[in-house]
Amino acid sequence: MTKEEAKKILSAYRETDDGEEYGYIIQDYVGEDDKVHIFRCKVEGVDYDSLTGVFANLPLIAVFPDGTILNIPE
């Protein structure tokens, strides 16, 4: 999978949590690690300017070759 293919998969990805649906807004490409593409993203609907501490950190999201999307803890 190329970086562009991973970006397309992540851009189309939707997640549901407690009945609310959201996606990720890609901010930066971090790199590739063993065929896994890693992006730093914002969660749709979250106002990061109003957050402090660890909550203000943009999450790292991994896109695996099979299309699996996972949040990477820092």
Ordered DSSP codes for 13-66: --EEETTEEE-EEEEEEEEEETTEEEEEEEETT--GGG--GGGGSPPEEEE-TT
Q: CB neighbours (10 Å) of residue 6?
A: 25
pLDDT reported for residue 26? 98
Residues 6+ apart with CB under 8 A from 6: 37, 39, 63
pLDDT reported for residue 74? 75
pLDDT reported for residue 49? 87
Q: What is the pLDDT of residues 1-56, one digit of tens each?
A: 999 999 999 999 999 989 999 999 999 999 998 899 999 999 999 988 898 888 88
pLDDT reported for residue 1? 93
State the greatest distance between any 2 C-alpha atoms of the chain, in Å, as a whole number: 36
